[in-house]
Amino acid sequence: MTASHPTAPLEKRILGSFLSALVGWIALMVDIATTTKPNTSPYLADMIGEFWGGVGMIEYLASILIFGIWLVVILPLYLLVPLSSSFWKWPICTICGAVGGATIMLIISRAVLSSSESWNEHLRLCIFAAGVGWLICLFASLTRRYFNTTRQKK
């Protein structure tokens, strides 16, 4: 860090990482609310029953997933990877986010969805998760300097 831009307080850096996750969460909630029909999957229907008509429970579980990933992956990256790292260049960061999102979703979908679910369903979920990961990392990479440095008054 240069003398003209010292490292921001921890609270500001945590806020930046949280807002990155929040952007992804908002996109995820909008997609779920607009495209998911209650009890569309027999497996999900069995798993969640009538609780919140199915959609609310899916949103709840997705929220746990997004903010769990924020605590375990995004926050440590945001705090530990130096601002000067090539990782924070938006093309690199967004590719990492897309690959990470798709990989996490592939692991989860293979573990949670029944074997009767088609490969197309797994692929659809992975593509969407890649988009969410891409968006989170795009926001993080474009706002990283703002949340990581403080400007000194002249």
At residue 98, φ and ψ (nearest 5 deg) are: -65, -45
Q: What is the average pLDDT across 10-39?
A: 85
Q: Where are the domains of the chain?
A: 10-148
Burial class (CB in 10 A: 0-12, 13-18, 19+), 154: exposed
Q: What is the pLDDT of residue 111?
A: 80
Q: What does pLDDT average to over the chain? A: 82
Q: What is the pLDDT of residue 3?
A: 47
Residues with Cβ within 8 Å of 2's Cβ and at least 6 positions away in sequence, in order, are none
114 has pLDDT over 80: no
Q: What is the pLDDT of residue 129?
A: 92
pLDDT tier at 17 (50, 70, 90 boundaries)? very high
Q: What is the average pLDDT across 94-104?
A: 95
Query: Which CA distances in Å does 140 have to 1, 90, 118?
Result: 18, 9, 34
Q: What is the pLDDT of residue 67?
A: 94
Q: For the chain, what percent of residues have pLDDT higher than 70?
A: 77
143 has pLDDT over 90: yes
Q: For the chain, what percent of residues have pLDDT higher than 90?
A: 44
- 98 neighbors 130 (Cβ within 8 angstroms): yes
133 has pLDDT over 70: yes
pLDDT tier at 2 (50, 70, 90 boundaries)? very low
Cβ neighbours around 102 below 10 Å, total: 21
pLDDT tier at 148 (50, 70, 90 boundaries)? confident
Q: Does the predicted TM-score (pTM) go above 0.95?
A: no
